[in-house]
Amino acid sequence: MALFSQDALRDGVAMREVWSWAAFDFANSGYTTVVLTAVFNAYFVNVIAAGSASATFLWTLVIAASNAVSMVLMPMIGAVADATASKKRWLAAATVLCIAATLGLMLTGEGTVVWAALMIVLSNLAYNVGESLNSAFLPELAREDAVGKVSGWGWSFGYCGGILTLGLCLGLVLGGEKLGLTTDQTVAGTMAVTAAVFAAAALPIFLFTRERSVPRLQASDRGAVKAAAMESFREVRRTLASLGRFQDFAWLSLCGFCYQSGVAVVITLSAVYASAVMGFETEDTLLMVFLVNITAAAGAFGFGYVQDRIGHKRALAATLAVWLAMIAVAAVSTTRWEFWIAANLAGIAMGSSQSAGRAMVAVFAPPSRLAEFYSFWNMALWLAAIVGPLCYGAITWMSGNDHRLAICFTGLFFLLALLALIPVNMRRGAETARREA
């Protein structure tokens, strides 16, 4: 069986459309990898906030604020995108904003806390909106029995984007040292590289991937569109009220919230942990994350096929077990090679766990409510992105920067996710989605 088979796609979907869709994962992964994971988080803590006792907590507050804004705005955007079949137009706006705000990070330096915070809030908001809308294309492209595989294609190709962006940034950092560039100049350069890769790689989805949803409202009918946007808040309440009927989606959302709380810690604070506990410099962190992205790409791609063979639930449970092993190794690491083992375990689990969750939503969501269910799913993940890092930051602040204690606490999120996954029944959830279509 071919690795990339047309049989995995719905009728009328060309393979070019799928790779154009996956190219958006390629585009935006550089943002999360460089800005949130490898470079700017440590720069914010050590330079912008001058390494103060509350610097890590301050960074987590900024990330929390960006995700809180996402939680408020995304239901409205999802509702309007559904009603007017305009996912691509909203995706384009989010892409432009994320690129512009990433370029805005080039103007940061010591003491520019407010400006840096504003640019992170705007860029991460735009990233969140784009990620949600891009995910909503998945059920339109993949057959129901192949969503895990196609989702895995996207996630693995996405990590290739992170690898490319990191490789370019690593070259810039190493070259900057030889040229005598300051830290501020080097970080500004990495932001420019990240924005440029994002802009170039995002183009294919707008050129080649079709919008297949049918509009219920005309975008020119501003009154109806405004009503749909306001209706989104009632829609969220209805979604909450209907979770009794969609109990498997409800348990999955709780599971996603728990494990994404832990994942958010790894994404936003791994470079801070590496610097504070293991003594990593910027080039050390970039090299580590570069190689971890290769592991993550392989993990996401391979687990896409594993999901469709052994089932999404078992595959997700396996990735959660890997996350727990990663936490254990990271918490006791005293040498760099031990921490590298933990980092690569995180790579294996990172893309596969997020890909599995995205694919399971596609199974549990009624076809007529795709953006609604993905918006709710992403709201759970954004809430997790608030809770997880804030818990980590609060623990370091209250414990005098005890990062090992904070990472041990993070392991509880993955354990709770495993417990929440137990009641999920894939067959029952799929039948409910078809019945409620």
Q: Which residues pair with 9 in a beta bridge?
A: 142
Query: What CATH code is carried by the domain that includes residue 146?
Result: 1.20.1250.20
Give me the mean pLDDT over the 314-328 stretch. 93
pLDDT above 90 (res 392)? yes
pLDDT above 50 (res 90)? yes
Between 134 and 302, the more confident residue is 134
Give me the mean pLDDT over the 163-190 stretch. 91
- What pLDDT, on a 0 to 100 scale, did the predictor assign at position 4? 60
Question: Which pLDDT tens digit goes with each residue over 204-230?
Answer: 999 998 888 777 766 666 777 677 767
Banded model confidence at residue 1, pLDDT cuts 50, 70, 90: very low
Tokens of 241: 């009220």
Banded model confidence at residue 148, pLDDT cuts 50, 70, 90: confident
Banded model confidence at residue 437, pLDDT cuts 50, 70, 90: low
Please report, rounded to a whole number, the percentage of residues in the chain having pLDDT higher than 70: 95
Tokens of 165: 């962006």
Give me the mean pLDDT over the 95-116 stretch. 97
- 3-state secondary structure string, 306-332? HHHHHCHHHHHHHHHHHHHHHHHHHHH
The answer as to whether 7 is a domain residue is no
Q: Which range is least confidently modeled, 14-28, 61-75, 294-308?
A: 294-308
The answer as to whether 217 is a domain residue is no
The answer as to whether 327 is a domain residue is yes
The answer as to whether 357 is a domain residue is yes
Rounded CA separation 46/397 (Å): 15
Question: Which pLDDT tens digit goes with each residue over 51-79?
Answer: 777 888 999 999 999 989 988 888 788 87
Backbone angles phi, psi at 321, to 5 degrees: -65, -40
The answer as to whether 179 is a domain residue is yes
User: Domain range for residue 392?
Assistant: 14-212+223-435
Q: Which residues pair with 142 in a beta bridge?
A: 9
The answer as to whether 323 is a domain residue is yes
DSSP conformational letter for 46: I
Rounded CA separation 273/293 (Å): 18
Helix or strand run (H / E) with residue 403: helix 403-421
Please report, rounded to a whole number, the percentage of residues in the chain having pLDDT higher than 90: 41
The answer as to whether 9 is a domain residue is no
DSSP 260-275: HHHHHHHHHHHHHHHH
CB 20 within 8 A of CB 272: no
Number of domains present in the structure of the chain = 1
The answer as to whether 3 is a domain residue is no
Give me the mean pLDDT over the 171-185 stretch. 89
Angle at 89 between CA 138 and CA 123, to 5 degrees: 85
Question: Which are the contacts of 188, defined by CB distance < 8 A and separation ≥ 6?
Answer: 105, 106, 107
What pTM does this model have?
0.79
